[in-house]
């Protein structure tokens, strides 16, 4: 998925204006744009005569309907998880991910700040991680913004999210000493690009597009970010791994029962390749790693896994829970074929994968180089989640 996720340091800081400016500017230059907001609350409040509702503004900016932008709308001006509970229609993270409209570029906007709960278990940050889009942070230019913005950046990076930039808005025509200092300080202490968006007279697509055209959209869209999700189970957390996880992963790979089935990577290589997979976290400690290879072509809805887990947790169901979390997530993204290829001699791993539902389908001859320098066979296993093909 290509696009941007707009969040804010608080409610009412200009997220929708920033998201609308991005969407309108991209559309004005001919991009196929979809706008998305998981929920809109506060529709019971009187409307602003000069500004449309959030989902209406985003719909106009992207050239679509407000129903396509926001799958859930609520009357009370409260947190989305409470609004949904009061309405008797609790939100579901996987369903929200599946509701994102397909497009060449997706501009998603959160609700409130990153840690605002969407459900009893998941926050806006979890949605941003599941979508895997670079983050754009909307913030006020005035007093208090340094602390709020740096806390937001810290919360984002702790979850493995890539931050494309910060937008201070509404930026005055003649910023004072404090406002200019705020922008410089956030950029320096937050190690982030800071740009500004002026106050707009109205939320029309034309004004939004003109303002958005001055933003560094191409640079933001090119921001490297993990497309990997953050998933929480009863005992296991899966999150995008980072180079900081390398020492823990190296220690696990050095365990004899793990080293027997995995190549001997040095620390530099582990550090370089860690971010290609998910860290398996148990009781706040890195306990393993899983490589996820997702096929981008929708006509070949396949996902492949490869994982290792610390020996002390073998046989206790942690790998099973991790795989079930992954299968549920990627099935929700439209995939139905899952593969894994342990060594044909790794009986423990094969039993664990069978417990999830994987079945052997063939031998991969001389598939991997063993630690003793010989070549050994791999076992191709797959699991198919039966579902109807997408509509043409």
Show the tokens assigned to 91. Answer: 């939100």
- What letter would DSSP give residue 312? G
Q: Which of 349, 381, 321 is CA-nearest to residue 261?
A: 349
CA 257 to CA 309: how far, in whole Å?
10
Task: Please pick, among 25, 26, 27, 37, the residue that the annotation labels catalytic.
Answer: 37
CB atoms near residue 262 (< 10 Å):
18
φ, ψ for residue 195, nearest 5 deg: -130, 180
Q: Which residue has the tokens 């950046």?
A: 153
- What letter would DSSP give residue 388? P
CA 93 to CA 42: how far, in whole Å?
21
Q: How far out from the chain centre does Cα 314 lie?
A: 29
CA 361 to CA 346: how far, in whole Å?
16
φ, ψ for residue 4, nearest 5 deg: -140, 150
Q: 98 by DSSP, 3-state: which?
A: helix
Q: Which of 276, 190, 191, 292 is CA-nearest to residue 226?
A: 276
Q: What CA–CA distances, in Å, run from 132 to 57, 106, 325, 378?
A: 24, 11, 17, 31
15 is annotated as an active-site residue: no
CA 183 to CA 166: how far, in whole Å?
9
Q: 346-379 burial, b for 16+ CB within 10 Å, e for fewer?
A: beebbebbeebbbeeeeeeeebbeeeeeeebebb
Q: For strand 359-369 and strand 231-232, is the pairing parallel, antiparallel, or unpaired?
A: unpaired
CA 202 to CA 207: how far, in whole Å?
7
The residues that are catalytic are: 37
């Amino acid at each position: 998925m290509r696009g941007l996720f707009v969040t804010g340091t608080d409610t009412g800081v200009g997220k929708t204006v920033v998201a609308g400016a991005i969407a309108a500017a991209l559309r004005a230059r001919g991009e196929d744009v979809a706008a998305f907001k998981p929920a809109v609350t506060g529709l019971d409040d009187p409307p602003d005569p000069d500004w449309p509702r959030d989902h209406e503004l985003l719909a106009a900016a992207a050239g679509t309907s407000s129903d396509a932008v926001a799958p859930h709308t609520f009357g009370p001006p409260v947190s989305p998880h409470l609004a949904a509970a009061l309405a008797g229609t609790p939100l579901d993270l996987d369903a929200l991910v599946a509701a994102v409209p397909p497009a060449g570029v997706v501009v998603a906007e959160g609700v409130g700040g990153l840690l605002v709960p969407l459900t009893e278990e998941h926050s806006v940050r979890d949605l941003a991680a599941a979508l895997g889009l670079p983050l754009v942070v909307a913030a006020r230019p005035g007093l208090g913004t340094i602390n709020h913005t740096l806390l937001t950046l810290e919360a984002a990076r702790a979850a493995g999210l890539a931050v494309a930039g910060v937008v201070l808005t509404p930026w005055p025509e003649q910023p004072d000493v404090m406002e200019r200092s705020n922008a410089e300080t956030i950029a320096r202490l937050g190690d982030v690009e800071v740009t500004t968006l002026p106050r707009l007279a109205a939320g029309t697509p034309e004004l939004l597009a003109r303002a958005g055209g001055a933003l560094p959209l191409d640079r933001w869209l090119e921001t490297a970010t993990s497309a990997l999700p953050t998933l929480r189970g009863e005992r296991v957390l899966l999150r995008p791994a980072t180079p900081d996880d390398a020492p823990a992963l190296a220690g696990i790979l050095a365990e004899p029962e793990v080293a027997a089935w995995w190549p001997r990577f040095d620390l530099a290589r582990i550090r370089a390749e860690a971010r290609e997979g998910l860290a398996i976290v148990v009781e706040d400690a890195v306990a393993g790693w899983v490589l996820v290879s997702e096929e981008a072509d929708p006509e070949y809805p396949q996902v492949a896994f490869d994982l290792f887990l610390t020996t002390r947790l073998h046989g206790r169901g942690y790998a099973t829970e991790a795989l079930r979390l992954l299968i549920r997530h990627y099935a929700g993204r439209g995939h139905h074929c899952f593969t894994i290829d342990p060594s044909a001699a790794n009986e423990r791993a094969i039993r664990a994968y069978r417990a999830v539902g994987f079945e052997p389908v063939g031998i991969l001859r001389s598939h991997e180089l063993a630690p003793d320098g010989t070549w050994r066979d791999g076992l191709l296993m797959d699991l198919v989640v039966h579902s109807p093909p997408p509509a043409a």
